[in-house]
Structure 1
């Protein structure tokens, strides 16, 4: 029997995703990771936002504590997470996010990762075609998370020479909102923040969050604060401009007189602060919107967390002595590795975005350095693609600024939350790629 044409057996949306997946190198890279002894020809991966610095400590804890009760082999308390887990998460986040009003278990919905949580808020707040504001540069996977299944429209916000996390950025959000609504006839329904910021590695100042809340109130749109890096905040010991800002959760701001509290929501998860992407556990926090919670109950089946992840996460977060020690050690390691990486690129004349104090990222201008080393290049040549091809040739993977909506070509994100030997090998290959 003749094989059917793909266009006849897939929907248009599935075919679009199939085409995009075929062009995505990341899955090939993850299956061919460098190891000096077993796979010396593999890729050195400093492009995926994972934190492997504390795996030994976390595994030691898990492997001595985990004993799974039988109820976690059942549907337990439903698709939004067990009562025990939601209580553990709320108590843990009360200690660390300092919400104005303490979190309660019924104000949380647990999902199988924060990507599912992002998809849920997009689905719940915006109809197909309606807009969600997202400042540039942004975490690249926000785009499919917000739009692929919910079919909302991501509205990128351009800042030009304005600090994306500064007070003047608020005007840019409003401009993007008005232009989208006037040009499409569709409404903007939400504003998405990554706080702390991926890929810039900084925290939004409290006064800027307040002004963004006022903007959301003015247009009656939701503020979604993705705080997945909330506890991965550390001391910057080598560069102080712009001055590093301490992390303050959107939930720690009293909405009275600023914004309808039904419009304020936060996200968190185990992937980054606990270096546990594979646990696949995220949290949606909404303290004042019962209709939103009722809607999430209706779709929680599609993001049901594993019973093992549910039990394991509760076990970890209930142990405050362990989590306090873990967080402090992790923050110290992140601080040290940021200093090492930033010093390395600075000593080799590579521009980077300074003033970081959060997450795992150094935002570097490899395109500028490449042009300096290769003056024969035409100014019209797309420098980001040229550098990316050089990096892959040298078997090192970084995330390109093009995937993050960077307003300027040539910027890349280095993930420095790596064991020292991997980071050293990656930086050596990056330098070789630029010099080649």
Structure 2
């Protein structure tokens, strides 16, 4: 029988890529982002006692009832709020309200005008706009360790800029003695390695997660460095009015007061067109869900011109626009709210710091702003479990998992650029029952 020749098989064509490179980067980032899983299963003493108790997200619920009562009594929508109103950069009423509020509370050297203000749906969008406007793909922004973790995604995920962490090697990152040399070293090393420019320095003042304000000398040194290298200085001042009295570990005489960059005379320090300030409703007014942020750029008209098209993607809801404008023009309400909020933050800090002291858990002292403490759970764990020899990132991951096993969520220090594994950010801006349950779970986890 003659042989039968086989028909050659047709090669299977390769599958087309489902995602772009950017899309795949987002897929990879999304796999590690557990925040939304956590907030969909949040603890409640009555309705969800088995849920996850979060002291990791920077939300301030201490004044929610006061804010809700005001919003419900003062929300008045009209037909213009069902239209595009005055466009995607914020309504005239909202930009005027923000300018009015900043002129009262931030003590600007040059009066803030509505034309200086760009409104966005939260400060993450604001940061992304700045990164997109000033950085080409592969160009960099300097960010000192430790830092607010979401700055990285805001600056890089869609704009395709690069964050260059500035190592502090155990020195105080707010100290003027260490700042310039370390920022300049990080910038020069990146440019030498990649041939790409460093375009900006990103600050969070008051600092997240350290809960302190930058001294004037440090800010001046950074302004001069930015001028020398023609970098933008972006100051996120979203905790500006959440500054309060530390009654536990004191040190007020060594605490720098909050000074907005808007309040500074920039003459001889930096070209004003390189300076940009951000603020929003999320923190000082405990209203993350309103999604209202602002960029104040007083001397860079072209930036505002660019946002005529870019701001379409960060349009503030007309309802949030109206609510925020109403709040920020009511001076009696905002003055009373800010004072009450600061007093409650001080009391909540005193409780959490007191519990940490009682149980011998180390934390960064001298905090007087924001909602959080920078806490060394790793050191306490080592004391309790000297037999455990786990090191490095695996050590930090292990403690984090023990916390999650107890259904208490804290902010992972590694994501915040911690140079030493074992540090975490704990948020105290919650009512006492929430904090009591959280501390009980933290202690169970590390014990």
Match for residue 37 of structure 1 among 36, 42, 46: 46
1:155 is aligned, of 156, 161, 164, to 164
Q: Which residue does the alignment assign to 2:93?
A: 84
Q: What is the distance in 1 between the residues matched to 2:244 and 2:302? A: 37
User: With structure 2 as the length reference, what TM-score do the two structures score?
Assistant: 0.95
| Contact 1:131/1:153, CA 8 A, preserved across alignment | yes
Distance 1:383 1:66 in 2: 50
Following superposition, the deviation at residue 171 of structure 1 comes to 1.5
1:46 to 49, 55, 64: 55
Q: Distance in 2 between matches of 1:380 and 1:295?
A: 48
What runs of 5+ residues in structure 2 fail to find an aligned partner? 1-13
Where does residue 7 of structure 2 map in the other structure? none
Q: Is the 8 A contact 2:395 2:422 kept in 1?
A: yes
* Aligned ranges 1:18-37 → 2 under 5 Å: 18-37=27-46
The one of 312, 316, 334 equivalent to 1:301 is: 312
Question: How many angstroms apart in 1 are the aligned matches of 2:91 and 2:269?
Answer: 33
What is the aligned partner in structure 2 of residue 127 from structure 1? 136
1:177 to 178, 187, 191: 187
Q: In structure 2, how many angstroms separate the alpha carbons of the residues matched to 1:74 and 1:219? A: 44
- The secondary structure found in structure 2 opposite 1:8 is coil
Q: CA deviation at 1:6?
A: 9.6
Query: Which string of whole-angstrom CA distances, capped at 9 and with x for unpartnered residues, describes residues 360-418 of structure 1?
Result: 01100001100110010115363211111110111100011011011110000001001
Give, in whole Å, the separation in 2 of the partners of 1:113 and 1:45. 21
Distance change in 2, residues 1:294/1:391 (3 Å): same
Instruction: Give per-residue Cα distances to partners, 1:298-348, cap 9 Å, x unaligned.
Output: 211111111111111000001000000000000000001111111110110
Task: Quote how far apart the aligned CAs of 1:241 are.
Answer: 4.4
Residues 375 and 311 (structure 1), Cα distance of their counterparts in 2 relative to 1, 3 Å cut: same
Larger deviation, residues 187-196 vs 12-21: 12-21
| SS of 1:364 mapped into structure 2 | strand
Asked if structure 2 preserves the Cα contact closer than 8 Å seen for 1:236 and 1:244, the reply is no
Cα pair 1:162 1:169 within 8 Å, conserved: no
Pick one of 74, 92, 99 that aligns with 2:83: 74
TM-score w.r.t. structure 1 length? 0.97
Considering only aligned residues, what root-mean-square deviation do their CA atoms show, in Å? 1.4
CA contact 1:131–1:188 (8 Å) conserved in 2:
yes
- Which residue number corresponds to residue 385 of structure 2? 374
The one of 145, 148, 173 equivalent to 2:154 is 145
2:266 is aligned with 1:255: yes
Query: Aligned partners of 1:216, 1:53: CA distance in 2, in Å?
Result: 38
Cα distance in 2 for partners of 1:37, 1:291 equals 53
Does the aligned pair in 1 maintain the 2:179–2:221 contact within 8 Å? no
Instruction: Quote the Cα distance in structure 1 between the aligned partners of 2:21 and 2:290.
Output: 32
Unmatched tracts of structure 1, length 5 or more:
none
Is the 2:116–2:298 contact (alpha carbons within 8 Å) kept by the matching residues of 1? yes
What residue in structure 2 maps to residue 415 of structure 1? 427
**For 2:342, which of 328, 331, 334 is the aligned residue?**
331
For the residue of structure 1 that corresponds to 2:279, the secondary structure is strand
- TM-superposed CA distance for 1:291, in Å, is 1.1
**Which residue matches 1:397?**
409
Aligned to 1:208: 218
CA–CA separation in structure 1 for the residues paired with 2:319 and 2:181:
45
User: How many residues are paired up?
Assistant: 432
Q: Is the 8 A contact 2:403 2:442 kept in 1?
A: yes
Deviation at 1:7, TM superposition (A): 7.5
The separation in 1 between residues aligned to 2:142 and 2:155, in whole angstroms, is: 10
1:170 positional shift:
2.2
Match of 1:10 in 2: 19
Give the aligned partner of residue 369 of structure 2: 358
Residues 10, 224 of structure 1: CA spacing in aligned structure 2 closer, same or farther, 3 A cutoff?
same
Cα pair 1:396 1:426 within 8 Å, conserved: yes
2:351 to 314, 317, 340: 340
Whether the 8 Å contact between 1:196 and 1:359 is mirrored in structure 2 is: yes
Q: Is it true that 1:222 corresponds to 2:232 in the alignment? A: yes
Alpha-carbon contact 2:139-2:196 (below 8 Å) kept: yes
Judge conservation of contact 1:245–1:357 (CA < 8 Å) in 2.
no
CA distance in 1, matches of 2:397, 2:443: 16
1:290 equivalent to 2:290? Answer no
Q: CA deviation at 1:22?
A: 2.4
Q: Distance in 2 between matches of 1:100 and 1:82?
A: 25
Paired residue secondary structure (1:349):
coil
Aligned position for 2:400: 388
**Deviation at residue 39 of structure 1 after TM alignment:** 1.4
Determine the C-alpha separation between the residues in 2 that align with 1:16 and 1:260.
36
Residue aligning to 1:191 = 201
In terms of mean alpha carbon deviation, does 15-24 or 155-164 score higher? 15-24
Q: Determine the C-alpha separation between the residues in 2 that align with 1:194 and 1:254.
A: 20
Displacement of 1:185 after TM fit? 0.6
